[in-house]
Structure 1
């Protein structure tokens, strides 16, 4: 059975958790100021690792049929990521992922250091993240939380190489819950570049198997 799927994208609207950042002023030498970014931009990649032998077994039991194909056990999505933030605001942001696939997400501040993120990835699925910011310094930021994902899967009966959109034999979703962490590193100076890393470890209900996801984004804010 040939599965067609992609990972959920990295939800970069969560950059709002680390707003404002403290940077070195460009006008006055060595003066530290609070900097609110109105727009950020990055390049991201996200990879999910799944037990596809267990997925094939589950799909067969549920009547989802397609030609047998040995999958490599991981999926990937990513692309260019514009991130929309707002001046003097640390409560809301949204971002888009454009590239091989399309994704959209938004993050809102719930209370003090607690944030809620929701996102959808075309041919990838959806995600909800509840997290707490545990670190926010000049050059670093971090959060920990819980997540719930539903992941897109499809059996492919007619595609010779890659198909997107209609044409799949069957489409179904699987569901994952688990723990998630995010780490942000910045220059904290005139160079406003950043590196964002995220990881998810969870449990896939339908196949009763572990789930792992890793992501990285490089950009400037």
Structure 2
């Protein structure tokens, strides 16, 4: 069994234990740090990479969401909002013959949270990322676009800074004194400032190493007129 096939199999297996409903981490961004330096000072380009586990979460104040949907504290109905999060495993496809393009597939159980993303080197150190995926079911498609500049190349530290625009799916559960409950959902749009950080040890030529990949953004939701942070972290083989 080839190593690439084994990684894909383990990724599929791991995803069956994870759940998600937020936009996944766009791991195709690793193309920004594809060129690796060996201890001998030679350079080479990573091909296939794998994020063993990725976590991404929005952090809204519950009051901001409940105010937007018209929550009435005197009502018999109780409304609850939990900040959405995503737990996925990601297959990352890089190509040394096409160093300006990266593609990633995020896998989660029962399709919910599964998505794809693409990162393209527009010019110089500037990159454009498009990512989309499912929310709670097939109807709840959400997406984001990121434009950023690479500041550090990832040997061993990688850093980028840019802007992001998102269309998010929000879900609020509603419970009453009766046995049956209901829900309320809607879409919101936001924009913000976003940064990517990576850490990967410098290795011998051709050897794979673990990497740490973190993201953070500060955003303004246009729909709900509220600010919120979003964070993400991933660990994988690069």
Fold shared by both chains (TM-score > 0.5): yes
1:119 shift after superposition: 0.3
- Partner Cα distance (2:69, 2:142) in 1: 17
Residue 142 of structure 1 and its aligned partner are, at CA, apart by 0.5
CA distance in 2, matches of 1:207, 1:157: 19
The question of 1:148 aligning with 2:165 is answered yes
> CA RMSD, aligned part only?
2.3
The answer (yes or no) to whether the contact 2:66–2:81 under 8 Å persists in 1 is no
Could you say which residue in structure 1 is the equivalent of 2:188? Answer: 174
SS at 2:202 equivalent: coil
Counterpart residue number, 1:108: 120
Structure 1 CA distance, aligned partners of 2:155 and 2:80? 47
Give the distance between the partners of 1:15 and 1:75, measured in 2 at CA: 24
Find out whether 1:12 has 2:27 as its counterpart.
yes
- Verify: 1:218 aligned to 2:227, yes or no: no
Q: Distance in 2 between matches of 1:99 and 1:32?
A: 38
Q: Residues 23, 193 of structure 1: CA spacing in aligned structure 2 closer, same or farther, 3 A cutoff?
A: farther
Aligned mates of 1:137, 1:40 — CA distance in 2: 14
CA contact (8 A) 2:81 2:172 kept: no
Which secondary structure does the structure 2 equivalent of 1:60 belong to? coil
Cα 1:192/1:23, change in 2 over 3 Å: farther
With over 3 angstroms needed to count, the CA separation of the structure-2 counterparts of 1:88 and 1:188, relative to structure 1, is farther
Counterpart selection for 1:40 from 49, 52, 55: 49
Q: Does 1:201 align with 2:218?
A: yes
Instruction: Quote how far apart the aligned CAs of 1:35 are.
Output: 2.1
What is the CA-CA distance between 1:205 and the residue it aligns to?
A: 1.1
Q: Which runs of 5+ in 1 are unaligned?
A: 25-30, 62-66, 159-167
Alignment length (residue pairs): 198
The unaligned stretches of length 5 or more in structure 2 are 1-19, 72-76, 136-140, 176-181
